[in-house]
Structure 1
């Protein structure tokens, strides 16, 4: 019996070894063909993982078909057996090695037949070619300046950007490259405004950063404040309506202040009022908020639209003998929406109106427009 068992085992082993090497040869041939076709039609080398996966997929498909049809592997050996597991592992191990070799051979044959030169992408020449064909590299400076008219960016963001290299496509005009660079910095780093200046040779000379304004502070007029008032509204009001703030005392109720309703949350309302009248409002007291009969205005809808854009309104005071004195309104960058002169407000002044000392100029524009203005 021992001689018979030994003969059977030797025969099973020989059959398994022959089949394993057959699977290896099949995997190598399939991978060779795939690598040849990939290099021939794409001029690129097929990834090693993809090549091995294709070769092993053929072996796995072959073994699965045989197992399903016969329910055995070699000499009535059942599928669920330790010998079968060893057989499968050996087949896939040999197939992986053969796939790696077939990939190299197929790639080499394709390069020789199609005269495709292989370039080492780690050399300086490959770096020059890659830059010349694919992208332009911009290196950010170590220090950044703040954009006028915008809140400054956190120092942690500036340290993160210092000395970084940013790639932009080279097949677009120079102006579009700058816009693409600015948009990428704004999007990737959450910066509100970015302005990039280039030198004559195309390098970055200066980068100015600024955050977008949040809250309602930028929409409050001078000498006015916004404060939260706790009380009971006598009528349902909407944003922008004029309201009156009365003391909540039925016997001695008196008018405390008037203002503009900006928001409500439960029994708390945010109201914009004069700074002098706001001192009479106590945070621990309750008030009655009454809507005044006045015509509605679209001014706050306009302010909401402006806040959603990159534009904002900045105020400049013209100093005596300063660079703005004597300049025409139309020569300023941005749009002059208002001019206060001798306590008189001039909305949208004409372009030929000259500026005088102590004038307050309200300009609508972007942070870049404010940066172009001379120091007042």
Structure 2
């Protein structure tokens, strides 16, 4: 097969940021637009606590979980939020972990090797979901709603029993604000500022159902829990966390950035519009994939394809013939070609994922930029393949 030359495109995306985290800032964002009057104030100052509480109220308003669900911040982004749930809640019941991408595998390792529990791990190859009917309602289950590193998402919550005895602990960091989450099925839901709304990194959010709060009130693991993961006081769940009090010192500038993102989301039309923006972006990229011979979606089944962290695989035989090291080198060259032109940034897959492409299509990305990126992907592919043949 002879490589066909592709002319370098004229137009570039106005905002060429397609990283899966941190993701693109919201349209119109500027650092100068963030309030700075509380910078340098103590983290326990009443005005600062109220500002953090306002951020939680806005988060609730945009996401619309049930009124009796509790929201709080955690250190360490989504990772810290998931770890806080694992360390503080697991051990009362048997545990299952759904691991169909990198982070599910990380949670399985944590539960097994660090908490010293014996989880049943439900796995699947990259681009697939495990058989979710195997989830046991008598057990606690830990699972990602959307696999940021695999481009796979859970397509429904029918497998979660309404009469479950265990807790459902859902890593929703690349699903929140982009997908419609079934709150009645979720007991612990976690996400981070820097995913779907393009916030700054370092702070995570937990959304706890009454069942999750009851677990914290009544269950005391025998293990020691580090302070940054500790959600309880002497009486049980530390309810001050739901009022804007934070576990340790957080960046006030980061919370101002989060509030800015939430106010934009609210003004744009709230969660329904955020989902529509995401789906429009995904549809634009999917239409290009459908008519492009050398690339395909990593997940074969359309119903489980992520609309945010869209993962693609190479189907061209010249690339497929390369070993894994060769394919990774091809991706590295592909990335360099695009970034040297300032056309598309951070389109490479997660380091443990199969070699290919990954483009974030969440709500802070503009559809026009997705469309303008695709000719650059074609140019970079043709250029990199011609170098293979040289």
- TM-score interval for Structure 1 and Structure 2 normalised by the shorter chain: under 0.3
Report the structure number with the largest CA radius of gyration: 1
Q: Which has the higher strand share?
A: 1
